[in-house]
Amino acid sequence: MHDPQYRVAIAWQNSAYNQPSHPSFYLGVDMAAQTQPNVGATNFSTNEFSNNGSSANAILYPNPTSQTFTIMAEGKFTYSIHNILGQELGSGKGENQLEVGQISAASGVFIITVKSEKGTSSIKLIKE
């Protein structure tokens, strides 16, 4: 999947059981060894983002938002706001319902993690 031409072939053959057969290099018995691609991956497998336990059943609205948003969760809860890179942008506490002010000046995707007695919920929030 590191070959750009092969990835494009996957994209246009995305229905049924089509298998693209068009790599951008010769694929045979007598071929030379390929170079290792420089590919990186982001790992969100920290405890902050895992949903292995029970859920806090939190609700965020409006989503997408342009300014503020509201968190609804039963009982007392804490929340933290992370950007897509995992950097914490803010946190706070609330009970039952809380309106949260501006997240960031920039638009983008944010992860809101809500923790309560019932568990943890991580919800994607889109800021327009």
CATH number at residue 113: 2.60.40.2550
Residue 68: name the closest of 104, 25, 23, 117 by CA: 104
Per the CB < 8 A criterion, the answer to whether 111 and 122 are in contact is yes
* pLDDT above 50 for 27: yes
> What percent of the chain has pLDDT above 90?
25
Query: Does some domain include residue 50?
Result: no
CA distance linking residue 80 with residue 64, whole number of Å:
18
Query: Does some domain include residue 34?
Result: no
- Total domain count for the chain? 1
pTM of the model: 0.57
Query: Does some domain include residue 38?
Result: no
Tell me what the mean pLDDT of segment 41-45 comes to: 55
pLDDT digits (tens, 9 = 90+) for 7-16: 777 777 666 6
What phi, psi does 116 have (nearest 5°)?
-140, -175
Q: Which residues contact 121 (CB under 8 A, 6 or more apart)?
A: 51, 55, 56, 57, 58, 73, 113, 114
* pLDDT above 80 for 18: no
* pLDDT above 60 for 45: no
Per the CB < 8 A criterion, the answer to whether 69 and 125 are in contact is yes
pLDDT confidence of residue 3: 78
Query: Does some domain include residue 110?
Result: yes
Range of the structural domain that residue 105 is part of: 59-127
Per the CB < 8 A criterion, the answer to whether 1 and 9 are in contact is no
